[in-house]
Amino acid sequence: MKGSNIGELEEMILLVIAGLGKAYGNEIVDELDDKARRKVSLSTVHITLYRLEDKGYLDSEWGDPEEIRGGRRKRYFSLTVSGMRVLKEIRQTRLQLWSLVPELKV
């Protein structure tokens, strides 16, 4: 995985976005809490999203203004080709490592 080392939270955020197709900050916080039982603040998620975007793993676009949000827009993030590639590399590496554990072979 040379050049594709990312942290656990980064990986989980990429997985959430890959699963949803596109997602915004609060949606990611809720999914991490629900699916991974991981409590993460919205600001931590936003910092991580911007870092992943800088690395080229995510793209973002602004949604339409919402009256319920006082006219503010949501910023939606989606995976890039590089983002999907890094997830596939991580998955392959983890599978190879898990296969080393005899008690856990399927």
- Position 63 scores a pLDDT of 87
C-alpha pair distances (Å), 82 with each of 35, 70, 102? 24, 35, 33
* Per-residue model confidence as pLDDT tens digits over 24-48: 999 999 999 999 999 999 999 999 9
Compute the distance between CA of residue 78 and CA of residue 81 in angstroms, rounded to an integer: 10
- Residue 73: the pLDDT is 86
- Domains of the chain are 8-104 (1.10.10.10)
Structure tokens at 36: 């991974």
Q: How confident is the model at residue 65 (pLDDT cuts 50, 70, 90)?
A: confident
Query: Does this model's pTM top 0.85?
Result: yes
Provide the CB-side half-sphere exposure for 62 (13 A, CA): 6
